[in-house]
Structure 1
C-alpha cells in the first residue's frame, strides 16, 4: 500500500487519514467533507451510511442508528445503555445479556450487534480511502477512548475484522492526538503535554512527556459517560419540560417529536459556541402545537454546570497520579469537537491559572492523523519526521483478581506502561480442593461488585491437599493494544490454564459469518447505487428531451403531431419516476431505452 492508514471511529463523527511522503492528510468523503457522521440508516430499499444517512427524514427516523460507540462492548443492563435508551429513536433489545439494535430494513425486522453497525461505518471509511488511493486498504491503526475497557477494545477489533480490516494496533485517542501535535515540531528537552479530549460520547485526559521523539504517557483518566451527546440530551430534557409546563403535553411519549427536538437541540448547542443565543423553533412539534423558544449561552452553561465541572476531575486525577503540579505542564492541547464550547475552554484555562490553550491541531482530525502516524511508525516507515518516534502508552484501568469473591487484589495498577505483566500467588481455601476459580477484574474500586468482571479462569484437577498448601501462580499480561491475557499454573505440577479474556469477543466462526453478511450488504449497496444511477439517468434524459423540445433551434426537426406525442410521453415518464422511486434498475433502463429509441425515430 502506498500509505499508512489511521482511523478515528467516533461517537458522532469518524475520520480517516493517511501518512505518506512524510506528511499526514485527511481523506475526504464523497461529499467532500473531512469527517463523516457515524450514522447508518435503513430504508425500505437501501442502507445508507454517513452523510447520506443524515439526509433521511420522515417515516424512517426510527431506523437511523447513531451513538453506537455507546453500546459497543457493553452489557444491556449497563447504566450507560439504560440511561440513553429514552433518547434514541431506534430500538435497542436485549439478547443473551447484550444490546442489539433492531430496525426495519427492506420491510423486514433485522437485529444488529453494535459491532456490525460500527463495521458498516468502518467499511464506508475504507471505501473512501480505497477510491482515493486506487488500491485495497487492509492494515490500519484504530483509536479508542483511553478509558475503554477490555471488552470495548475487543469489540472494536471485532468490528474492524467484520469490515475486512486488519488492526495493526489499537491506541488511545488522546495519545494519537499527542502524536499529531508532536509531528514536525521542534521540542528542546522534555516537554509535558496535557491532552484534553472531549468528544461526542467520552472525555479523556492524558498527560504525556515528549523528549527526542519519545512519547511517554505518564497517566490517563477519563469518563466514558461524559461527552457532547450528554449536553445535547440535557437540552432535550430542558425543552421537554418547558413544553410540558406551557402546554401540558409530554413530548417524551412521542419518539418522532423527540427526534425532531433532538436535531434542533444539537444545532442550538453548536450555535452557542459562537453566539450568545440560539433559537429552537419547530412547527407542529406535538399535537399540532408549535414550539417557539430558545436558549442563551448562560442558560446552557448553567443547565450543564455539573457536566462541565466533571471535566476537571480527570485533569486533577492525572496530575495527582504523576505527582506533577499545574506549573509543570508546558502545553495544553484540546481535541474533540466538544472542546469548541467556550465554557470548557474557560474552565480549563482557569484551572491552570490563565494558561493559554494550544489550538494548533484540528480538534476533529488530530486523532485520525495521530493514528496514521502510528500506523507508519509501527510499519517501519523511515520518513525523517517519524523515524525516531517511540510511543510508550499505559493501561488506563487497574487489573485485579477477586479475594474469595468479595474484595479485589490489584495485580497491575493503572497507568502502568504497556506491554505489561503482573503475577500473584493464590492458595486454596478449603481442604481437598481440586478446582480453583479466579475472577479477572478491571477497575479502581475495592469491592468485586463495583468493578467490571472481564472473565473467569478455572483450573481443574489441582492437587488435593489441606487448605493453603496447593499454590497457583496467576499471571496477567497486557499487550500493546491494551488487551488482556491471563494464565494460571499450579506450582510443583505445572498444571496450567491460559485464556485470552473473551467474555464479549466473537468467535472466528461468528466473525466469518458476519464478514459474509457485511459483503452481502455491500453488494446490496452497490446494486442500490446502480439502481439510483439508472433512475437519475432516465430523469436527466427525459428533462433534456423536454428542454430540446422547448428550444426553437430543435423544434423544426420534429413534426408538430410527433412533438405533442413525445411531450406527453416525456411528461408521463417524469410522473412515473416520481411515483416509482423503488422501481428496479432494469425498469429504469428499459424506460430510458424506449424513450431514447422513440426520440431517435422522431427527430430528423
Structure 2
C-alpha cells in the first residue's frame, strides 16, 4: 500500500511518496521531478503531462493548461474569462460549467474541467505506480486555501473518476506548515510561547500568506489571506506584452496576430524571467519567430520590475490582512518562510523582508515543500506508516450560514444562523436543534459573497429532513442535525435524529462525603439518595436527503467508464506506435546484418528474398502502413521473422557453440590452474615436512655429540685434585 501526496499546481505538479524512512519526490517518464499540468488532444489519442508540453506549440487549440483554475467553476464566472488569456484552447460552456472544446479522435468534443483534472490525475497515478511498482489508491491532494465547497467537491469527484481515494484535500500553505513542523525537534512545549511563522507562498498563478502557530506536536493556522491573481505567469505576460511592442516597432512583426509566435515568445519570457532573478540583465533571442524573422532583445532587471510595478504594489496587502486577522503585529512573527517559484524574484524578497523588518527563511525546498507536506499528511492518515503524532488545526476561510423556512407554529423563530464563522477550526462539527411538527428543509450558503473568488454561487447545499411529525399530544418533535465541515473543507449535514425530554433518576452525592473515602461502612445498609432530572434522550433517526454541488453517483460512474475507455485507447495507441517503431528499426537492423554478421549463415537466395521483403514492407510502412492497427504491424514483423528466422537460428547456434567452446576452455584452464595450485600446495607441504624431519635429525645428532664430549663428574674432580698436588 502506497502513501502519496500530490501538489497539483497551475503550471506543474509534484508527487511526494513516503519511503526509505522519509519523503521522496519521484520523477516522471523523462526523469523530471515535476510534471506539466497540461492535457492535449489529437486525432489519435490524448497527450498528458510531458507529452502535452512537447506538442503544445504545434497543437495550441487542443492543449489545455491551468486545470485547477477552471475546476468547479461556472462558465459565466469572470475568473474563467480571465483564464482564457492564459489558455490557447477554447474555454466553453459545458452544461453550465467551465470546460473546453477540442478536436479529439477526428471530431469536436467537450470536456468539463473536472474531467480534465481526472485525466491528469490518471496520468499522475500511472507515473507513481510505475515508479513504486505498487498500485496507487490513497492520496492527499493540495488545493488553494481560497477554494470553495463546490471547487473542493469537484476535486474529490475528479479523484474518484481517476480511481483515487482522496484521504484529504489539504490547503497549500497548511501542507507546507506540516512539512515544516513535523521535522522540527525544537518546537516549544504546551506551556511555552508558541513559535509563530508566516508562510509566504507565491507560485505560478496565485499568492497566499498564512500565519501559523507551532507547539510540540501540533500546528494551529491563525489566519490566511491571498491574492488569487498574483503569480509568475503575470510576470511572463507583462514581459511578452513588452516584447510584442518592441518587435512590432523594431522588426515589423505583430506576435499578437500569430498564436504560435505569441506562445514561443511567452515561453522565452518565462526563461528570461528566471535568468533575471540571478542576473542584472539578460538577452533573449528567437529564431524565425514569424515571417522568417529572427528577433532579439536585451532586458534589465530594473525594466522588468517597472513592467510589473502594479503587481509589486499589491505585494504587502495579503501580509497586512493575515496579520490583522491573526491579531498580531509584525514583531510577533518569529520566522518568514518563503516557498513557491516566484519568491526567487529579488524585488519580491526585498519588499517582504522590508515589510517584516527581518531576514527571510528559505529552509524548505521552494518547489517541493507542498508535495512533501501532502505526503506527510497522507502518512499520518494511513495505517501503513508510523509517523510522529502531529495535530493539524486548519481554519474556515468563508463564513457559512444555514437558512430555513419559518415554522408556522413559531412565528417569532429566527430563520438563519451563522454556523461556521471565518476562522472557525476545521474539521468541525455543530449540532443544530429544531422544534418541528412536519418535515422541513434547510439550505447552507456562504454569508459574505464579496469574499468569494470570482462570482461563485454562494449556495452550498439543500438538506431535506424527513420523518418529522408531532407526538401524541401534538407537541413539537425535537430534531437534532449534525452539520460537519470535514477534513476536505466540505460541508455536509451528516445525520439527523430526534430526542425526547425524559425524567431520569441520578444519585445525589451525600453532604460531607469526601471523594476517595477509603471506607463507607453504612454504604450497604442505607439506600442511596437520588434525584429526578430532565434529560434529552435520543429516540430515533431522521432520514436526510442532501442536494449539493457534487456529481451524482450515476453520472460519476459514467465518467469513470469514459475515462477508463480513453485510458485504454491511449494505451493501445502507445503500444501500436511501439510496434511500428520496432518494425521500422527491425528493417534497418536486418538490412545491415544480412551483409554483416548474418552474411555467412544465409545463402544468396535467402539474402535476395529477405532484401526484397524488407523493401516491400518499408515501402508499405511509409505509404498505407503509416497509420494502421497494432496487429498489422505485428503480422508484418512475423513475415520478416519467417524468412530471417532460420538465418538467425544458424547464427545463434554458432554463437552458442563458440560460447560453449569458450566456456569449456575456461573450465579446462580453471581446472589446470586448480591442479597447479594443488601441486604447489603439496610440494610446499612435502618441503615443510622434510625440513621438520631434518631438524629433528639434527637435534638428535647434536644431543649424542654433547653426551660423548662431556667428562663424568667424578673424573673432573680427580683431575682437579691431581693438579693441586
Same fold (TM over 0.5): yes
Measured at CA, do residues 373 and 59 of structure 1 come closer, stay the same or move farther in structure 2, by a change above 3 Å? closer
Measured at CA, do residues 445 and 378 of structure 1 come closer, stay the same or move farther in structure 2, by a change above 3 Å? same
Residue 513 of structure 1: SS of its match in structure 2? helix
Does residue 210 in structure 1 map to residue 210 in structure 2?
Answer: no
Q: Within 5 Å, give how 1:439-518 maps onto structure 2.
A: 440-441=445-446, 443=448, 445=450, 452-455=457-460, 457=462, 477-485=484-492, 502-503=548-549, 505-518=550-563
**Distance between the aligned counterparts of 1:70 and 1:506, measured in 2?**
19
Aligned to 1:388: 389
Does residue 148 in structure 1 map to residue 147 in structure 2?
Answer: yes
Aligned to 1:431: none
In the comparison of the two structures, how many residue pairs are matched? 587
The answer to whether the Cα contact below 8 Å between 2:461 and 2:546 also exists between their aligned partners in 1 is no
In the TM superposition, residue 169 of structure 1 has moved relative to its aligned partner by 1.1
**Distance between the aligned counterparts of 1:370 and 1:166, measured in 2?**
18
1:163-182 C-alpha deviation (Å, 9 max, x unpaired)? 00111111111111111122
Does residue 413 in structure 1 map to residue 421 in structure 2?
Answer: yes
1:313 pairs with one of 314, 317, 334: 317
Measured at CA, do residues 448 and 324 of structure 1 come closer, stay the same or move farther in structure 2, by a change above 3 Å? closer
1:520-565 C-alpha deviation (Å, 9 max, x unpaired)? 01111211121121122112222222332564x5545556787577
Measured at CA, do residues 205 and 460 of structure 1 come closer, stay the same or move farther in structure 2, by a change above 3 Å? same
Aligned to 2:363: 360
1:547-596 C-alpha deviation (Å, 9 max, x unpaired)? 32564x55455567875775576466556545554332123222322233
Does residue 590 in structure 1 map to residue 594 in structure 2?
Answer: no
Measured at CA, do residues 436 and 587 of structure 1 come closer, stay the same or move farther in structure 2, by a change above 3 Å? closer
Unaligned runs of 5+ in 1: 428-433, 464-470
Does residue 126 in structure 1 map to residue 171 in structure 2?
Answer: no
The answer to whether the Cα contact below 8 Å between 1:442 and 1:454 also exists between their aligned partners in 2 is no
**Distance between the aligned counterparts of 2:626 and 2:344, measured in 1?**
41
Measured at CA, do residues 422 and 188 of structure 1 come closer, stay the same or move farther in structure 2, by a change above 3 Å? closer
Residue 311 of structure 1: SS of its match in structure 2? coil
**Distance between the aligned counterparts of 2:425 and 2:98, measured in 1?**
32
**Distance between the aligned counterparts of 1:488 and 1:365, measured in 2?**
39
Q: Report the TM-score, using the length of structure 2 for normalisation.
A: 0.72
The answer to whether the Cα contact below 8 Å between 2:99 and 2:111 also exists between their aligned partners in 1 is yes
Does residue 173 in structure 1 map to residue 169 in structure 2?
Answer: no
Aligned to 2:184: 185
Unaligned runs of 5+ in 2: 189-193, 406-415, 470-477, 501-539, 651-725
In the TM superposition, residue 154 of structure 1 has moved relative to its aligned partner by 1.0
CA RMSD of aligned residues (A): 3.9
The answer to whether the Cα contact below 8 Å between 2:182 and 2:388 also exists between their aligned partners in 1 is no
Q: Report the TM-score, using the length of structure 1 for normalisation.
A: 0.85
**Distance between the aligned counterparts of 1:312 and 1:193, measured in 2?**
16
**Distance between the aligned counterparts of 1:71 and 1:270, measured in 2?**
26
1:544 pairs with one of 580, 589, 600: 589
Larger CA Rg, structure 1 vs 2: 2
Aligned to 1:89: 88
Does residue 260 in structure 1 map to residue 259 in structure 2?
Answer: no
Measured at CA, do residues 169 and 535 of structure 1 come closer, stay the same or move farther in structure 2, by a change above 3 Å? same
Q: Within 5 Å, give how 1:23-172 maps onto structure 2.
A: 23-57=22-56, 59-172=58-171
In the TM superposition, residue 502 of structure 1 has moved relative to its aligned partner by 2.1
Q: Within 5 Å, give how 1:555-594 maps onto structure 2.
A: 555=599, 557=601, 566=610, 570=614, 573=617, 577=621, 580-594=625-639
Measured at CA, do residues 455 and 293 of structure 1 come closer, stay the same or move farther in structure 2, by a change above 3 Å? same
The answer to whether the Cα contact below 8 Å between 2:462 and 2:547 also exists between their aligned partners in 1 is no
Q: Taking CA–CA contacts closer than 8 Å with sequence separation of 6 or more, which of the two structures ends up with the larger relative contact order?
A: 1
Residue 310 of structure 1: SS of its match in structure 2? coil
In the TM superposition, residue 598 of structure 1 has moved relative to its aligned partner by 3.3
The answer to whether the Cα contact below 8 Å between 1:402 and 1:441 also exists between their aligned partners in 2 is no
Measured at CA, do residues 330 and 46 of structure 1 come closer, stay the same or move farther in structure 2, by a change above 3 Å? same
The answer to whether the Cα contact below 8 Å between 1:484 and 1:501 also exists between their aligned partners in 2 is no
